[in-house]
A and B are shown apart, each in its own frame.
Chain A
Amino acid sequence: GQQLNQSPQSMFIQEGEDVSMNCTSSSIFNTWLWYKQDPGEGPVLLIALYKAGELTSNGRLTAQFGITRKDSFLNISASIPSDVGIYFCAGHGLGGGATNKLIFGTGTLLAVQP
């Protein structure tokens, strides 16, 4: 099925470093969501974005909805070991109608060295 281009695929960083990841699409989206998934668990919603240009924070996390509606990024500041996991972006397109279907990114694996 359709997927969003998410990069980087993986990141290995030191505790305290800042992290940035992004998602791009060839299609316009009207919603961008960022999820974190811990090993063996379901994805947890971190941030939801609904407006082009919107910048939203959740603690040390900041995400932005790109002006073109075709991209989004997630930043994590001052990373800590519990930030380890896989981060997925997900988008919902214009005219999604009754399908309510999310398109997921390919995921970014984050590893944090204490």
Chain B
Amino acid sequence: DAMVIQNPRYQVTQFGKPVTLSCSQTLNHNVMYWYQQKSSQAPKLLFHYYDKDFNNEADTPDNFQSRRPNTSFCFLDIRSPGLGDAAMYLCATSLRGWRLYNEQFFGPGTRLTVL
């Protein structure tokens, strides 16, 4: 089945130690998103790629970076994780084209713990 895959599902890192989360998709969608979700809150968009074009949200800290080496893969890099970065990180995809433009499909998420 076509899907959005996130690895790892659980990640533990130390305060200040860089961490990379990965997302891959078999949907062949041209838009990929990274969201941060804290407990009992809605997902918060960090940035997205439309093909290779990177779009950063104005309030996304510089500590968060992203790479999209090809259509299928997208990475979230947290350069110096702080305790406040502990959260669920969600990857999503969408297909830009007519009405499917707005439907986003989410992966299962990576739960990040910062010690």
A33 and B106 contact, CB distance less than 8 A: no
In the complex, what residue of chain B is closest to A88 when comparing beta carbons? Answer: B42
A31 and B42 contact, CB distance less than 8 A: no
Residues from chain B with a CB closer than 8 A to the CB of A110 are none
In this assembly, does A65 line the interface, its C-beta being within 8 Å of a C-beta of chain B?
no
Closest approach, in angstroms, between the C-beta of A98 and any C-beta of chain B?
6
Which of B11-19, B66-74, B75-83, B94-102 lines the interface with chain A?
Answer: B94-102
**A42 touching B42 in the complex, CB below 8 Å, given contacts A48-B103, A92-B102, A100-B50:** no
User: Could you tell me the distance between the alpha carbons of A41 and B106 in the complex, rounded to whole angstroms?
Assistant: 9
A100 and B101 contact, CB distance less than 8 A: yes
Q: How many A-B residue pairs have C-beta atoms within 8 angstroms? Tell me.
A: 66
**A104 touching B42 in the complex, CB below 8 Å, given contacts A31-B102, A42-B90, A43-B90:** yes
User: Could you tell me the distance between the alpha carbons of A92 and B48 in the complex, rounded to whole angstroms?
Assistant: 15
In this assembly, does A66 line the interface, its C-beta being within 8 Å of a C-beta of chain B?
no
In the complex, what residue of chain A is closest to B106 when comparing beta carbons? Answer: A42
A101 and B45 contact, CB distance less than 8 A: yes
B107 and A42 contact, CB distance less than 8 A: yes
CB < 8 Å neighbour of A102 from B4, B88, B99, B102: B102
**A100 touching B108 in the complex, CB below 8 Å, given contacts A1-B59, A42-B90, A48-B102:** no
In the complex, what residue of chain A is closest to B43 when comparing beta carbons? Answer: A104
Nearest 6 Cβ contacts at the A-B interface: A42-B106, A104-B42, A31-B102, A92-B102, A42-B109, A43-B106
Given pairs A33-B102, A50-B102, A100-B102, 9 additional interface contacts (CB within 8 A): A33-B103, A42-B4, A42-B90, A43-B43, A44-B106, A88-B43, A90-B104, A98-B50, A100-B101
